[in-house]
Chain A
């Protein structure tokens, strides 16, 4: 069983997931932020892999990616960050989130093998739906890495069945039609969708919700209706606002994560 499955099984509360872009503002601060996130109650970290053309991301994460790219952060840096983090932390699952081309460039086999060696537990490739990712999925699986897929408000029932079947670790439900950093408008419809997924989902794949969750109230409501809550843009925004004061950056991330954590309900 890999760390993702263990976390969803053993956690007392619903799972709290944080996303930050690797290398923004720099590698050593990213590792510091990851450790602080864990200390303040984050159960799983999604680490963004920078890519020049992040078509699913809003301005906040776009800018963060641009800052990381200015520092020439590449996949090897991302693997190094994971390795360093993993030396001290053997429990918190790490998921790499990004776009397909850097992975195509290094090759699926080398990518999967190095990721496994660096302590990566899951991979979420935004622009690689199940239709296009059977080869990547099988290579990842050989290395005991979960290929995580997205479902969205536009996903119909027959696609949901295929997506659930292709997913390992958890299903990432995108709460809204839009890009990262938008705002959830309709929690009721999120709830209806999750009910539908749960009915289809016979092997109890956890369903977590991301996009548009910024405050305690929303985090609480989402944690009540799903298996976990993902917050990305809000953390990245704190980084953006404190680029000249890394101490305050880490401190504010700590405070914000703790605040959200208190709103996440028990299982």
Chain B
């Protein structure tokens, strides 16, 4: 077995070697340090963990199963395809793992108001859900363009009692929603906790979100052994900000397993219209951390394109940048078209409608399942695709 021994990061300043950090304006340094302190004391306590575990079991529906996709496995070749069913979580995606943890933490910190940014709306819905359950005020920032393409999730958030604020600045997508949420936080630091939905943003967010999402990987490791008596040979997940990916990958980083993150290739990497900073970007500073970003020759952040709102982001969590540079994880990309094909394939052959984000991971998995012999491929099925039905029907002009 290959011996891998990666250091435990981030360090105390929030750095993953040169990535990560706290690149924020002075006003936010205090709440970030306050959050770090609360996280390392409250969230690590046995009492907090018990409470969270109980909620994740009884309310969210964890552990989520690992499903062996026998029909497509057979059709694609000799490899075996396993799906970690995060789509079966309450609210339909992995985002709730983090939202539950952070809302509980905010409650313990005596915060009375929660803000969040959202792209596809899954993090917004998860946060609004946890806020409804724990009776805490919730405000969600969402780009105007994303509101248009993920309407169903906007309705859900409103039903759950959240205030959804459309963001009209810049590219009107996830990146601008994050800007607006940061501005809100600066203005309301005393009573407000900001729940970032991905492993992006300033320290300690990449660490906190990773830790709350790592339940995906921890469960997967156990379940592969206990249910299937097998070890995964290849792990695959889609990467926008990268929270579902790091959640699956992190507990496996020192194991003898291939790990692949799949970015959004949009219309193709050569067109420039994509959201693949790890493949085509370079290191820079955005939203409070140093990481791979998509920028022009003057250091201005470029607008991105992806069929999936959740991957449509010009940056990526700093830990992924570190894992790219040290070559522990391979980062590839899949185009809109390939993702769509995978979306249909899984739906038709296994009766599972995946989110368009997740379809990127599936597309790459199907590709390599055809090439590689006798491998156990574990894919994080990070979310269900109900929210994308509008996009799909519009695109295919399907009539009901």
Contact = CB atoms under 8 A, between A and B. Distances in A.
A150 B152 CA distance: 42
B358 to A, nearest CB: 27
Given A53-B287, A127-B285, A159 B179 contact: no
A104 B299 contact: yes
Contacts of A2: none
Contacts of B30: 154-156, 159
Given A101-B295, A104-B285, A127-B285, A56 B301 contact: no
B299 A53 contact: no
Interface in A46-91: 50-59, 62, 66, 69, 74-75
B29 A155 contact: yes
Nearest to A155: B26
A62 B186 contact: no
Main secondary structure of the interface of A (DSSP, over half): loop
A106 B187 CA distance: 32
Nearest to B288: A127
Contact of B182 (A55, A102, A131): A55
B186 A127 contact: no
Given A62-B169, A105-B299, A53 B29 contact: no
Contacts of A105: 284, 295, 297-299
A53 B170 CA distance: 8
A27 interface: no
A105 B293 CA distance: 11
Contacts of A151: 26
Contacts, number: 121
Interface stretch (B16-24, B129-137, B329-337, B384-392): B16-24
B186 A74 contact: no
Contacts of B297: 105
B299 A129 contact: no
Nearest to A75: B298
B284 A177 contact: no
Given A102-B298, A156-B30, A126 B286 contact: no
Nearest to A59: B169
Contacts of A127: 23-25, 285, 288
Q: Which of B183, B190, B288 has the most chain A CB atoms inside 10 A of its CB?
A: B183
Given A101-B299, A129-B22, A55 B183 contact: yes
Nearest to B168: A59
A174 B175 CA distance: 25
Given A105-B284, A127-B25, A178 B300 contact: no
Contacts of B286: 53, 101
B281 to A, nearest CB: 12
A168 interface: no
A182 interface: yes
Closest 6 CB pairs of A and B: A105-B299, A102-B299, A154-B30, A74-B298, A150-B26, A178-B187
25 contacts: A54-B179, A56-B25, A56-B186, A101-B284, A101-B295, A101-B300, A102-B298, A104-B284, A105-B297, A105-B299, A127-B288, A129-B22, A131-B13, A131-B21, A131-B22, A153-B27, A154-B27, A154-B29, A154-B189, A155-B30, A159-B30, A177-B187, A177-B188, A177-B190, A179-B187
Given A51-B300, A69-B300, 9 more contacts: A53-B175, A101-B301, A102-B300, A104-B285, A105-B298, A129-B29, A156-B30, A177-B186, A178-B27
